[in-house]
Structure formats: C-alpha cells, structure tokens
Amino acid sequence: MAYTIEGSTGPWEVVVGLEVHAQVISQSKLFSGAATAYGASPNSQVSFVDAAFPGMLPVPNREAIAQAVRTGLGLNAQINLVSRFDRKNYFYADLPQGYQISQFEHPIVGTGVVEIELADGSTKEVGITRLHLEQDAGKSVHDQHPTKSFIDLNRSGVALMEIVSEPDIRSPEEAGAYVKKLRSILRYLGTCDGNMEEGSLRADVNVSVRKAGEAYRTRCEVKNVNSVRFVMQAVEVEALRQIAVWEGGGEVQQETRLFDPNRGETRSMRSKEDAHDYRYFPDPDLLPVVLEQGWVDGLKAALPELPDAKQARFMAEYGLSRYDAGVLVAEQATALFFEGVAKGRDAKIAANWVTGDFFAAMNRTGRTIEDPPVSAAALGQLLDLMADSTINGKIAKEVFEAMVETGKGPAAIVDERGLRQVTDTGAIDAAVDAVIAANPEKVAEYRSGKDKLFGFFVGNVMKAMAGKGNPALVNAALKAKLG
C-alpha cells in the first residue's frame, strides 16, 4: 500500500529527495594538512589555508578523493575519471574564503542506486543522482556573548561528500530507511563514521506533495536534519504543512526551511527574494582531477563485502530469514560477531541468541559491538554446551547472564554453579514421582483430558530439579507416568 496523507481534498502523495552531507574519514582536511579530529579546542586544527589567509593555496588530499571513489563504487555508481573543483561563491561568517570549493558541473561520481528494505519486507531502489566532494564550513557559536557570534574554523575545509538522491522516496519510512542504508554502506566502506550526533552525517530533505498522477509541485528544502528520526518527522510535518497551504488555497513557495525537533515543525530560513546567486566557476587554483582506471580498479578490488551482498550470503549460507539477515548485516561489526558465533554451529540458534539475549545485554549494559558484553567465542562456547546437552536452554540463559556479569567463560560458570544438566533417569523419575504424588487433583484433571496441564507438570519437575533436568527426558518420564 502506497503511503498517502489524507487531506480535506483527498489523498496526497509525498515526494522526497535527500542531499546527505557525509564527512569523509581522513586524517587531514580536503585541501590542507590540518587535522580533522572531532572536539579539539577552537581554531587549533586550522591552517592558514583553512582560514583563507592571503596567498594560501589548496592542495587536494589523495585519500579524500579515494574515499569518494570508494563510496561511489559502494553506491553502484559511475566513477568519473575526469572531474573538477568549482567555487561556490557566497559570504558567510564561517566561510573564510568567501567561497566553498565544491564540484558543480563535473562531480567525481555520477548516477548510482541504493536498495532499501521496508518493514513489510518489500524492497525499493532509490536512485543516486551524484556524489561530489566539497569543503565543510567552520562553526559559528551564538550563545557565548550578548552581541557577538564567535567563529571556530576547526571544521573549515574538512572533506565532505554530498550524496544527492533522486526524488524517488515516497514516505517518511522510506526516507528513514534510505538514510539508515546509506549510513550502513558508508560505515562498511570506512568512508564516513555516520555519526549524526557529531554532525558527520547530516541530511537536507527536499519535500513536495502532489495528487496522484500529477507532475511535481514546488519543493522546499529542510536543511541540516541530524537524526534518522528527525528525517522521518521532517518529511511528515513538512508534507502536512504543504498540504495545508495547498488546501487553504495558497501556494507553496520554494524556500529553505529549518526543522525544529522541539516544536515538531519546520520554519522558513530565507526566502526566495534574497536567493543566492552562487556564481559557480572552475577553481583557478586547481587543475582537473584525472583518475586512472587502474587506480579505481584497485580501490574496487579492495572493497569489503557490502551489506546487500552480505545479507544475501547470510540467507543462502546460513538459511536466515531476510529480516534476520538484514538486522545482522546493518553494522559490519555485528555481522562479524554473528559469523564468529555461527561458524560451525546451528546458524539459526546463533542468530536468535545474537539478536535476542546478546542485543538485550548490550543495550542493558551500554556496551557496544566493538566492546561487547560477551565475546563471540564465549557465546559460541555457550551454544556448544547446549548442543552437547551439557546444559539446557533455560540454564543457558542463566549462564549467559552470569557471563555478562562476571566475564567468565560458560564452562567455568556451569562447573562452579553445578548447572550441568541432569540426565540420570533415576533422579528424573524420582522428581516426576514426587510431583505426581503432590498433585493428585491435577493428575486427575489431566487424565480426564485437560492436556494443557502437561506444562504445569514439566514446570514443577524442572523447579524441583533446580532447572537442570534434561527437558526431553523429563518430558518422556512424565508422559510415561501420567499415561
């Protein structure tokens, strides 16, 4: 079912395209040797180039260019062997040069495609229009002085990839799924850390609405949205706003808007009247970027397995559902962890444990997949103890919690705490007899046809055996004795 918003005049379709700015992972800036690390003291990671001092010149960073190419390859996109840097001219407090070096006419990466997956299990392709490299601006701080803004140029000149999508997105869910998928690909590639809180990934959301079958109506750009949730909210509230404008007899004006998450609304930033005239032209300090096909091929050969391929492999190799495989490949480290647990074991049980108890433990302890509460090897050993009937599933959960708490291996915990499964039929028979003897009425009820009571007997026998009874043997003994 296509997503629509019901207005007073009927259903409206939402049309969304995204421009994502992704900060390139590199040691130094796009055109200078200053560092890119996050959180340094103001203006400490600034060269005279970044501060646009007289006579300073840009020299491009080979790694930033390689990162853009890797990303293009990861987006199944065309790599342009000849591209060019242009200047985008405008004045702003945190734009020292008075222009941003960007790529306008000849971007380094052309059209590509990203496949997204939706909650109903369906997939959809979102077209990539282009990816280009550009410089980040500095940062203005407005809240430290009553009449002044303060400028920190640490971010000035950091390499960004601007990834522009086609207007193929039709719902808040698709917008969210697109950003998540893009982030996943970037993180796999190691070209952007995807950290939206620190601003390494930010989205400009272009939204318009239309009636079914219409051409595109005027769009508005919601700038710098910095979380997946906000992207989804921004699409929805901006679509609702535009529908209200159209249905109120007005006309949506093309403009740049800001999403205010506190109020859950977008508001106008600057109007069309003082629209910028960026006067793009080729940067005369820089020559065209000319790449060799062999170099691009080398980068391609060194790419890691990407989420789509990995998901397909997990389904084929481990027999996982599309959904489980999707959850496990979203982060490369999770997929790696899973494979560490699943190798040589029952993959479905491994998947259940990783996405179930393990994820829960990670959330609860605040640990990360890079610094997990239980190692993949230890979790695998736990699964082995279940497989060889040393413990049963219920005890395994107890052992797992003890592993999280103490950091000890599963075998040690089982031994220490005497959690070995009881397979001695004598002991099991004794426990079964005792439970039957203690509950004559329930036995009668069961025998008169109340089959559901079987679970009651299993539970009580297990309780009597401190959970350590072999479930299959307990079941068999009960079946035999209850008749």
Partner 1 sequence: MSLDPATVRRIAKLARIRVDEAQVEALRTDLNSILGWIEQLNEVDVTGVEPLTGGTQMALRLREDVVSDGGIADAVLGNAPDRNGEFFAVPKVVE
Partner 2 sequence: MLTDLTLAEARDGLRARKFSAVELTDAYLAAIEAVNPKLNAYVLVTGEAARAQALAADAALARGDAGPLAGIPLAIKDLFCTQGVRTTAGSRILEPFIPPYESTVTANLLRDGAIFLGKANMDEFAMGSSNMTSAFGPVTSPWTRRGDNRALVPGGSSGGSAAAVSARIALGATATDTGGSIRQPASFCGITGIKPTYGRCSRWGVVAFASSLDQAGPVARNVEDAAILLRSMAGFDPKDSTSADLPVPDFAAACRRGVKGLRIGVPKEYRSEGMPAEIEALWQQGLGWLREAGAEIVDVSLPHTKYGLATYYIVAPAEASSNLARYDGVRFGARTAGEDLASLYENTRAEGFGAEVRRRVLIGTYVLSAGYYDAYYLKAQKVRALILKDFTDVFRTVDALVTPTAPSAAFAQGEKMDDPITMYLNDIFTVPANMSGIPGLSVPAGLDAQGLPLGLQVLGRPFDEETVFAVGAALERAAGFTALPGIRAGAGAGG
Asked if residue 272 lies in contact with residue 34, where contact means CB atoms within 8 angstroms, the answer is no
Q: Rule CB under 5 A: say whether 136 interacts with Mg ion.
A: no
Q: What's the min distance (Å) between Cβ of 333 and partner 1?
A: 24
Q: What CA–CA distance (Å, rounded) separates 198 from 193?
A: 10
Q: Rule CB under 8 A: say whether 58 interacts with partner 2.
A: yes
Q: What's the min distance (Å) between Cβ of 64 and partner 1?
A: 7
Binding positions for partner 2, 183-212, rule CB under 8 A: none
Asked if residue 7 lies in contact with residue 243, where contact means CB atoms within 8 angstroms, the answer is yes
Q: What's the min distance (Å) between Cβ of 140 and Mg ion?
A: 18
Tell which one of 4, 19, 210, 412 touches Mg ion (CB under 5 A).
19
Binding positions for Zn ion, 387-416, rule CB under 5 A: none
Contact of residue 52 among Mg ion, partner 2, partner 1, none (CB under 5-8 Å per partner type): partner 2
Q: What CA–CA distance (Å, rounded) separates 382 from 391?
A: 9
Structure tokens at 359: 């994820």
Output 285 or 424, the one with its CB closest to partner 2.
285
Q: Rule CB under 5 A: say whether 162 interacts with Zn ion.
A: yes
Asked if residue 181 lies in contact with residue 165, where contact means CB atoms within 8 angstroms, the answer is no
Binding positions for partner 1, 164-183, rule CB under 8 A: none
Tell which one of 10, 53, 198, 297 touches partner 2 (CB under 8 A).
53
Q: Rule CB under 8 A: say whether 98 interacts with partner 2.
A: yes
Tell which one of 49, 109, 386, 474 touches partner 1 (CB under 8 A).
49
Q: What's the min distance (Å) between Cβ of 21 and Zn ion?
A: 6
Contact of residue 204 among Zn ion, Mg ion, partner 2, none (CB under 5-8 Å per partner type): Mg ion
Q: Rule CB under 8 A: say whether 56 interacts with partner 2.
A: yes
Q: What's the min distance (Å) between Cβ of 149 and partner 1?
A: 5
Tell which phi-psi region holds residue 98, choosing left (phi > 0), alpha (psi between -120 and 50) or beta.
left
Tell which one of 15, 128, 151, 329 touches partner 1 (CB under 8 A).
151
Q: What's the min distance (Å) between Cβ of 206 and Mg ion?
A: 8
Q: Rule CB under 5 A: say whether 134 interacts with Mg ion.
A: no
Binding positions for partner 1, 260-299, rule CB under 8 A: 269, 277, 279, 282, 284, 286-290
Q: What CA–CA distance (Å, rounded) separates 340 from 219?
A: 47
Quickly list DSSP for 229-278.
HHHHHHHHHHHHHHHHHHHTT--PPP-EEEEETTTTEEEEEE-GGG----
Report residue 329 CA to chain centroid gap. Answer: 10
What is the CB-side half-sphere exposure of residue 408 using CA atoms within 13 A?
13
Quickly list DSSP for 359-382.
HHHHHHHT--SSS-SS-HHHHHHH
Q: Is the dihedral of CA 261, 263, 265, 267 positive or negative?
A: negative
Contact of residue 97 among partner 2, Zn ion, partner 1, none (CB under 5-8 Å per partner type): partner 2
Q: Rule CB under 8 A: say whether 151 interacts with partner 2.
A: yes
Q: Rule CB under 5 A: say whether 357 interacts with Zn ion.
A: no
Determine the longest span between alpha carbons in the chain, in angstroms.
Answer: 97
Asked if residue 354 lies in contact with residue 338, where contact means CB atoms within 8 angstroms, the answer is yes
Positions touching partner 2 (CB under 8 A) are: 48, 51-60, 87, 89, 91, 93, 96-99, 149, 151, 277, 279-281, 284-287
